């Protein structure tokens, strides 16, 4: 079967590897679609993210959905032919984080396409049954694969304790910012503003329902106004303006991955106005909810998929994700 490898920095290769066999409690899934994430592009271009360094060839991709091809002993939550979305992180389920339900913080996690763990941009994958989520009827594997980035949005909304009628600001109109925005709509936001420095991205956000779009090259968001602010860029200036934009007593959720130590963050402002700043890392217990929301608005979500490629065109797909400003989610169809 085919697998899309990062052979070394800046070099992608499609290779033939043996088809896996499901063991006890595992499911064999024929992967139909795998989205390209910013992290995949980053590993391809730079060979590492923080302490995670690609030292040997690694299969890319962690945003996948497909069709159940076989089930191992005891894996009876799904059956052959079901369309399923794959939650990427295999956790230890033994540490205090896992036992307390904070499994996204497990330090033993084996997450698709995070070195040295292989990703899921391949024709077949074996995965633990509890991480194989059945998709609501009528939802394609391709659109269902968006449950991965959308889960980031669902999780961030929970951390902000977001309530219906509240106002949200999203910094960054890439796929994660868009997913946060859509999660805020679903949570009943009365107003969602979104910022970026690229007009194309802002136009897309507007078309998807943003109430206000702000090009941060020209203007900043309102100060002390939003109940919840979601920082999805990792850019120093945005992290600072996130705190300033939150109303007193409001919540700021930091999602973007920036430099190791950011300086010039107005923490005193957060202290004096009781703005709560939350870190947000991946997601936990989001997949079934995320899939239901995606199914309910599948026409809207399908607009996020702007480009489609085959496995053999993987390199072109990555180029598109890297360079094409019109790209939102680039999909590799296996």
Residue 102 contacts Zn ion per CB under 5 A: no
CB of residue 155 to Zn ion, shortest distance in Å = 12
Please, which residue, 244 or 282, has the CB nearer to Zn ion? 282
Q: Is residue 132 packed enough to be buried (19+ CB in 10 Å), middle (13-18) or exposed (0-12)? A: buried
Residue 106 contacts Zn ion per CB under 5 A: yes
Size of the site for Zn ion (CB under 5 A): 6
**Distance (Å, whole) CA 207 – CA 300:** 10
Please, which residue, 17 or 95, has the CB nearer to Zn ion? 95
**Distance (Å, whole) CA 193 – CA 249:** 19
- Rule CB under 5 A: which of 18-57 touch Zn ion? 37
Residue 277 contacts Zn ion per CB under 5 A: no
Please, which residue, 125 or 214, has the CB nearer to Zn ion? 125
Please, which residue, 98 or 156, has the CB nearer to Zn ion? 98
Residue 317 contacts Zn ion per CB under 5 A: no
Residue 98 contacts Zn ion per CB under 5 A: yes
Two tokens, residue 173: 């109109």
Please, which residue, 251 or 286, has the CB nearer to Zn ion? 286
| % helix, strand, coil for the chain, step of 5 | 30, 30, 40
Please, which residue, 37 or 289, has the CB nearer to Zn ion? 37
Among residues 78, 95, 117, 200, the one that binds Zn ion under rule CB under 5 A: 95
CB of residue 102 to Zn ion, shortest distance in Å = 9
Contacts of 251 (CB under 8 A, 6+ apart): 159, 160, 161, 162, 227, 228, 229, 275, 276, 278
Q: Are 171 and 177 in contact (CB under 8 A)?
A: yes
97-105, 209-217, 245-253, 282-290 -> range binding Zn ion (CB under 5 A): 97-105
Residue 131 contacts Zn ion per CB under 5 A: no
Residues in the chain: 334
CB of residue 27 to Zn ion, shortest distance in Å = 21
Please, which residue, 174 or 250, has the CB nearer to Zn ion? 174
Please, which residue, 90 or 160, has the CB nearer to Zn ion? 90
Residue 289 contacts Zn ion per CB under 5 A: no
81-89, 105-113, 254-262, 285-293 -> range binding Zn ion (CB under 5 A): 105-113
Residue 305 contacts Zn ion per CB under 5 A: no
Contacts of 125 (CB under 8 A, 6+ apart): 20, 28, 29, 31, 64, 66, 86
CB of residue 36 to Zn ion, shortest distance in Å = 9
CB of residue 245 to Zn ion, shortest distance in Å = 26
CB of residue 118 to Zn ion, shortest distance in Å = 15
DSSP letters, 165-227, are T-EEEEE--SHHHHHHHHHHHHTT-SEEEEEES-HHHHHHHHHTT-SEEEETTT--PPSS-EE
94-102, 132-140, 208-216, 295-303 -> range binding Zn ion (CB under 5 A): 94-102
DSSP letters, 122-170, are BSEEEEEGGGEEEPPTT--HHHHTTHHHHHHHHHHHHHTT--TT-EEEE
Under DSSP, the state recorded for 313 is: G
Under DSSP, the state recorded for 284 is: S
8-16, 92-100, 223-231, 292-300 -> range binding Zn ion (CB under 5 A): 92-100
Cα angle: 144, vertex 257, 178; to 5 degrees: 40
Residues of this chain that bind Zn ion (CB under 5 A)? 37, 91-92, 95, 98, 106
């Amino acid at each position: 079967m085919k697998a899309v490898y990062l052979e070394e920095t800046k070099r992608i290769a499609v290779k033939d590897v043996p088809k896996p066999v499901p063991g006890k409690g595992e499911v064999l899934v024929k992967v139909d679609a795998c989205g390209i994430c910013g992290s995949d592009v980053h590993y391809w271009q730079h060979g590492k993210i923080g302490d995670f360094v690609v030292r040997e060839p690694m299969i890319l991709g962690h945003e996948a959905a497909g069709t159940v091809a076989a089930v191992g002993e005891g894996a009876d939550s799904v059956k052959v032919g079901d369309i399923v979305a794959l939650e990427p992180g295999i956790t230890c389920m033994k540490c205090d984080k896992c036992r307390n339900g904070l499994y996204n913080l497990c330090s033993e996690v084996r997450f698709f396409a995070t070195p040295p763990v292989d990703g899921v941009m391949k024709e077949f994958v074996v995965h633990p049954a509890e991480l194989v989520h059945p998709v609501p009827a009528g939802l394609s594997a391709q659109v269902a694969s968006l449950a991965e980035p959308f889960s980031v949005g669902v999780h961030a909304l929970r951390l902000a304790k977001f309530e219906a009628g509240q106002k949200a600001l999203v910094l960054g109109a890439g796929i994660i910012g868009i997913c946060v925005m859509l999660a805020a709509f679903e949570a009943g936001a009365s107003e969602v503003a979104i910022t970026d420095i690229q007009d194309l991205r802002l136009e897309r956000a507007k078309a998807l329902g943003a109430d206000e779009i702000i090009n941060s090259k020209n203007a900043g968001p309102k100060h002390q106004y939003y109940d919840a602010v979601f920082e999805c860029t990792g850019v120093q200036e945005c992290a600072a303006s996130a705190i300033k934009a939150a109303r007193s007593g409001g919540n700021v959720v930091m999602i973007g991955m920036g430099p190791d130590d950011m300086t010039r963050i107005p923490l005193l402002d957060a202290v004096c106005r009781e703005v709560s700043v939350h870190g947000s890392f991946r997601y936990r217990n989001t997949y079934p909810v995320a899939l239901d929301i995606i199914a309910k608005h599948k026409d809207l979500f399908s607009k996020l998929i702007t480009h489609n490629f085959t496995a053999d065109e993987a390199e072109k797909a990555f180029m598109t994700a890297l360079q094409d400003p019109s790209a939102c989610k680039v999909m590799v169809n296996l």
